[in-house]
Amino acid sequence: MSEIKQKEVVVTGGAGFIGSNIVERLAASNNVTVIDNLHTGSESNLREAREKGNVIFVKDDVKNISKMGLEADFIFHLGIYSASPMYRENPRLVAEVVDGFINILEFARKKEIPVVFASTSSIYNGINPPHSEDVQYKVTDYYTEARIACERLAELYYKLYNIDVAAMRLFSVYGKNEKAKGKFANLVTQFVWAMKDGKRPEIYGDGTQRRDFVNVKDVVEAFILAAKKNKGFEVYNVGTGKNFDLNELV
């Protein structure tokens, strides 16, 4: 495993699902500042991280990061609306995501630090596998357009300011600390919740839809590795490379 030690680390969305797992992984050996507006996060997700080390929590929007007086050696940006239905209900979230990301990139430019951020494998919607990072993507929905815009901005900031940025195209992530996501939680987790309640998991469609399910622990290691090793602007698929249909999963 790659390690980050004795550093100042900022994690946006750090009280959320994936972010809190990154915080817990880094807290024992670093000073970690969490920025989260608690839209789909919860401070309870930080309990174990706080027991391990120095974690500062700031309840705020990422657009205000430059006003917080933070020092940082690395920034992990997961403070991004993370489910397609959110954008269908409110397309203006695209503008919020882009504005927030520009503030993250400006912060990184001024501090001269690398950025690792959560993109999405939904960019490959409508494209037959295998899905390589250099595939020509299609326009499909607001959610993917927001992430594509972030990737293009990241590449621009590298070209203009030499900021190292890694875009992590996450496949279907499941694991610890998803409770606060509620109806937006991963299917694996929702199925487990249903079965714990003695209910049959609800599958929409015929169940032949295929997903690459990856554990959040592996995603955390990918983020840390990218923070340590990435140079320039790069896109990385983060998954297992194996697909399962929903009937198999159940």
CA pair distance 35, 43, nearest whole angstrom: 11
Q: From edge to edge, which strands make up the β-sheet containing 8-12?
A: 54-59, 31-36, 8-12, 74-77, 115-120, 165-170, 233-238
How would DSSP label each residue in 205-218? SSS--EE-EEEHHH
Known catalytic residues? 143
Largest CA distance in the chain: 55
Distances (CA, A) of 149 to 146, 156, 221: 5, 11, 25
